[in-house]
Amino acid sequence: MGRYVLRRLVNAVPLIIGITFISFVVVDLAPGDFFTSLKMNPQISPETLQGMEAKYGFDKPLVVRFFLWFWRVLHLDLGESIFYHVDVLSLIGRFLPNTVILSAAAMVVSWGLAVPLGLFMALRPGTWADRLLSFFAFMGMSIPSFFFALLLLIFALQTGWFPTGGSFSPDYDTLSLAGKVWDRVHHLILPVVVLGTSGVAGLMRLMRGNVMEIMNADYVRTARAKGLPERVVVFKHILRNAINPFITIAGYELGALFGGAALVEAVLHLQGMGNLMLQAVLSQDLFLLMGSILIGAVLLIVGNLLADIALKFADPRIRYE
């Protein structure tokens, strides 16, 4: 086990170099850079611009720049955002928590609903409830998140029941503790509904499928034949086995946490990594862009590793060489 983890970690190094290098090349291929837009400012002279370009190392060849950057990354220095004039790491540190809170909330909600609903459907296959839920699952999987977010925005606008964006109110600091919690939750509802819907839909179907497959397994039949109470069969034999694949998914979601919310953040005006990244892309803020991609990749790799390890604990049949 220890060796397995070690091997995976060693493997991760070339992986990260590969990912970041590809991204670096791609960003470089884009026409212009951050300074291009400054050229249209009548008050900035070409000399000033050249000075700035040299300061940020934009006058060196691509490979040199990449390794200069990577060398600093090894020292936990992600560089300075050209756009914000701030250390990239601290910038990400400010935006990441909102995305993490949002995604975690969406994950809790979608798991909390999907597991019991999926189980319920599988235990009553073919009934109208099963069909109805299946149909909703299909709808939830099919609705484009940005379209759904737009529809909810109209809803919020028409009813006034929900705040129309942001992560908390401007007078957040003056609220009591309970008020703060409610304020946060209130702002989270709409984005969580959007993000959670697709999550619930997919997971619910997966759960239903898993349960149905397991119900046909020999050990379940044996358990039933032994005359174990149905409750024990369902919760002890079926549920525990059906949940295994979800552990793997949880790992992936750690990475998806990071990116999946981006569109929703854009439409509902939330201050997370998605909007930060979009801004970085549009302004071609190299270091911010690279920093975000790096963090995203690290989260994804770590997530996968954690999932595989967790799966091993949950399912002793799985062995790693």
* Residues of this chain, 27-46, that bind another protein according to CB under 8 A: 27, 29-33, 36-46
Query: Is the distance from CB of 233 to CB of 211 less than 8 angstroms?
Result: no
Closer Cβ to another protein, 135 or 232, answer by number:
135
- The verdict on 94 binding another protein (CB under 8 A) reads yes
Supply the minimum distance, in Å, between the C-beta of residue 215 and another protein.
Answer: 10
- The verdict on 57 binding another protein (CB under 8 A) reads no
d(CA 285, CA 290): 9
Closer Cβ to another protein, 195 or 311, answer by number:
311
- The verdict on 84 binding another protein (CB under 8 A) reads yes
Find all residues with CB under 8 Å of 127, minimum gap 6, and list them: none
- The verdict on 311 binding another protein (CB under 8 A) reads yes
Interacting span for another protein (CB under 8 A) from 64-72, 105-113, 221-229, 250-258 = 250-258
Stretch 141-180: interaction string toward another protein, x if CB under 8 A: xxxx-xx--xx-xx-xx--x--xxxxxxxxx-xxx-----
- The verdict on 306 binding another protein (CB under 8 A) reads no
Supply the minimum distance, in Å, between the C-beta of residue 29 and another protein.
Answer: 5
Give the total of residues touching another protein (CB under 8 A): 108
Supply the minimum distance, in Å, between the C-beta of residue 90 and another protein.
Answer: 6
| Helices and strands in the chain, H and E counts | 14, 2
Closer Cβ to another protein, 100 or 278, answer by number:
278
3-state secondary structure of 81: strand
Q: Given candidates 106, 190, 234, 262, which one binds another protein under the rule CB under 8 A?
A: 262
- The verdict on 199 binding another protein (CB under 8 A) reads no
> Could you tell me where the DSSP H helices lie in 124-176?
128-142, 145-159
Supply the minimum distance, in Å, between the C-beta of residue 227 and another protein.
Answer: 26
- Radius of gyration of the chain, Cα coordinates, nearest whole angstrom: 24
| Span 106-145, contacts to another protein by CB under 8 A | 125-126, 135, 138-139, 141-144
Long-range contacts formed by 176-184: CB under 8 A, 24+ apart? 184/101
| Residue 44 DSSP label | S
Q: Is 54 left (phi over 0), alpha (psi -120 to 50) or beta?
A: alpha
Query: Is the distance from CB of 184 to CB of 169 less than 8 angstroms?
Result: no
Find all residues with CB under 8 Å of 88, minimum gap 6, and list them: 78, 79, 80, 81, 287, 288, 291
- DSSP labels, 233-298: IIIIIIIHHHHHHHHHHHHHHHHHHHHHTHHHHHHHT--SHHHHHHHHHHHT-HHHHHHHHHHHHH
Supply the minimum distance, in Å, between the C-beta of residue 285 and another protein.
Answer: 10
Query: Is the distance from CB of 68 to CB of 60 less than 8 angstroms?
Result: yes
- The verdict on 263 binding another protein (CB under 8 A) reads yes
Q: Given candidates 223, 277, 287, 288, which one binds another protein under the rule CB under 8 A?
A: 277
Supply the minimum distance, in Å, between the C-beta of residue 228 and another protein.
Answer: 23
Interacting span for another protein (CB under 8 A) from 108-116, 217-225, 230-238, 264-272 = 264-272
- The verdict on 314 binding another protein (CB under 8 A) reads no
Q: Given candidates 90, 116, 181, 221, which one binds another protein under the rule CB under 8 A?
A: 90
Closer Cβ to another protein, 214 or 234, answer by number:
214
